[in-house]
A = this chain, B = another copy of it.
Amino acid sequence: MKFSDIVRLALTSTGDVSLPVRLKDIARDLGLSPMAVSKALRGHKDIGQETTRRVLQRAAELNYRTDAVARSLVTGRTFLIGLVIPDLMQSFFAEVATAIEQAAGAAGYHVVISHTGESAQVEVANIELLESRKVDGLIVASAQRSNRRLRAIKTPLVLFDRVLPGMQSQFVGTDNRKVGLMATQHLLEQGCRRIAHLRGPLLSTSEDRLKGYRDALGKQHAEQVVEAGHDDASGYAAMKALLADGGRLRPDGVFCFNDPVAIGAMRACLEAGLRVPDDVAFVGVANMRFSDWLSVPLTTIDQHTAAIGMQVTRQLLNCMTSGAKPPAPVPLMSPELIVRASSLRRPRAR
């Protein structure tokens, strides 16, 4: 018997201290080898039924829990998935995270969350930390502008929401060009003539929505793009600026990067004495909870957030099991228009 085992025995036998139960303890208890116990616990068929039963019973009695750390060291798997997102307080990410946690949990994985606050640097640091933790996979809504710093990643990786130029990894996300197209077309159909766009942060989502906006406008309609951000304050400021710009005609329709931006922008309009949607119509993106219950219920575009979370997890699990299979690109999710009062105008002269 080893010295450490003697110490252990001395400690636990008094009952004063209760050290965690180990495989070895059960083995000694039952006069088996640790290996036999290990196998029995995992239902390995090498072990006889009767032996297995005895082991399981004793383990339950002693309240034995496998030490996941020790197991990971030897198996090389942690059953941990790293989720790297800009901000859990944006409801989009909270919803995706929920779906991911659910799907991952069902497959026996836990999710480690990591915020980046949209900082590319923090993101890289966090990913490195997660890699040193040996997470089995990574799900990232990246704040990077290029794929440079993400190329070195060895861990199976699936990106979502934002595309990275030249990145070979799997991706799950909405067809944002279609988002922009649908939103703008809807405004055109509602009779809007001068449609402005409050664009979001410099990420692929925002780029693509802008492209869709331009697609819809075509040659006939002039574009009017204003930089905003992703929150209501930035929407408010951008709309204020737009209204103050005397040089141009006031827009009669605004396609906003997302719902919070739209809410801020609508506030700016209402404060300026304009009517929504009669003077200015609005479309947002996200389908936030309660956006149908706002001062002016908001027309928006639903991204099927939960489906994105499920899908991204499924892809990652696939990646992880099937090794380095060539990533079969998955079609983008189709957005869905949800019409509410903020964009519903009486038919105009056509």
Contact = CB atoms under 8 A, between A and B. Distances in A.
A279 interface: no
Given A132-B65, A134-B67, A294-B290, A114 B101 contact: yes
Contacts of A114: 101, 105, 110
B115 A98 contact: yes
A130 B114 CA distance: 18
Interface in A267-303: 267, 288-290, 293-295, 297
At the interface, is chain A mostly helix, strand, loop or mixed? mixed
A189 interface: no
A112 interface: yes
Contacts of A72: 69
Contacts of A65: 128, 131-132
Interface stretch (A89-97, A166-174, A246-254): A89-97
A113 B115 contact: no
A19 B305 CA distance: 37
A56 interface: no
A143 interface: no
Contacts of A134: 67-69
A267 B290 CA distance: 11
A4 interface: no
A78 interface: yes
Contacts of A95: 89
Contacts of A328: none
A152 interface: yes
A66 B72 CA distance: 15
Contacts of A128: 65
8 contacts: A63-B152, A65-B128, A98-B115, A101-B115, A105-B114, A263-B290, A267-B293, A293-B295
